[in-house]
Amino acid sequence: MFSKIAMGIGESETIKVADIARKLREEGKDIISFAVGEPDFDTPEIIKTAGKDAIDSGFTKYTDLKGIKKLRNKICQKLKRDNNLTYTDDEIVVSNGAKHALFNALCALVNPGEEVLIVAPAWVSYVEQVKLIGAKPVILNSPDDLSMPVEEIKNNINSNTKAIMINSPSNPTGKVYTEDELKALAEIVLQHENLYVISDEIYEKIIHKPSVHVSIASLSPEIKDRTVVINGFSKAYAMTGWRMGYSASNIQIAKLIAKIQSHMTSCPCSISQYACLEAVELDEQEITKMVTKFEQRRKILEDFFDKKPELKYTKPDGAFYFFVDFSPYIGKKVKNSMELSMYLMEKAHIAVTAGSAFFKENYIRISYATSEKNIREGLSRLDKALKELNE
């Protein structure tokens, strides 16, 4: 018998869809992907040059397992500058992507059998990571407006609840929690001893005005002490393949995370770390250019869906996703969101991600991390496929 834990976790549906699309492309099919969760822009040249320089200079050896001190200091400066958060370099652990940092945090905080509250719609890996450590994921449904489900959170906290995982801006909805919503959550958390927040802020720089990103850890010293902030370089700097993320937490948690990482992966990639020394100080105008492009693409999708009143959605505040209710097209020829996504792949040659992957049935996630040309062509195909679906 294999590991019961390993056998009990599901596949990553986002990766599964990407793999199917890739296979169809290899067969010569013209697939337009609305499924990818990465910026389609190239890594800025100054960052790539720093990586090349690191190789040429021989920075190809092991580093401090928490990440090189200079990078951790620069991350501290970034957190102070952007988020009004004060950490020391010993409270930062650089990891192999934000996903790795999330798993480290769960390993450090949660015991087997304890419960972790997850606000849904939620990224697919949260639930599976909780299962991997032998803990119990408790999925909480957000209201239709995607606001913080305060009463739902209150009603599901018990003596076995150890952590709450939140994601703002959100994958898959693009929701950005307001300061008031985060204050309400912080108040609840601080009423319970030994309850922590894991705050995934990887999309923090991809914000559509007038929304503003607020880190829950910045609200008070008390909630900061109970929060592990997760961030990284993948989304803001178009560095998905460089695999660089980090956590910020109090020193006790940081030491545990470092100890866990020492046995799992040791240090993160030295070359990527040196590239990130440039990324963390990148001119904000470079990021603004990318976000402006995302906003232009968002408008194209918004105009399309506004002409289809039967499709309900909440306008994304950040990230680069629309999360759309396709209920009127589900129930006859296709029975659920997964069948709808496969229908669109086969019939229209467009790749989308089923809402069931994010614990919300009948919805579809549509990424606008692709060119305007692809978006317009993809929407044309979607329109045609939906008309045929209702014939």
pLDDT over threshold 80, residue 391 = no
Under 8 Å between Cβ of 362 and 144: no
- Summarised one tens digit per residue, pLDDT across range 291-317 is 999 999 999 999 999 999 999 999 999
Sequence-ordered strand ranges (E) for the chain:
32-33, 92-95, 115-120, 136-141, 161-167, 196-200, 227-232, 245-248, 312-313, 321-325, 350-351, 353-354, 363-367
CATH 3.40.640.10 residue window(s) in the chain: 50-281
Statement: the pTM of the whole predicted model exceeds 0.85: yes
Nearest to 320 by CA among 305, 299, 338: 299
- The reply to whether CATH 3.40.640.10 applies to domain 50-281 is yes
Right CATH for 4-42+285-389 from 3.40.50.620, 3.90.1150.10, 3.40.50.2000, 3.50.50.60:
3.90.1150.10
- Summarised one tens digit per residue, pLDDT across range 127-161 is 999 999 999 999 999 998 999 999 999 999 999 99
- Summarised one tens digit per residue, pLDDT across range 315-352 is 999 999 999 999 999 988 899 999 999 999 988 999 99
- Summarised one tens digit per residue, pLDDT across range 66-97 is 999 999 999 999 999 999 999 999 999 999 99
CA distance 388 to 391: 5
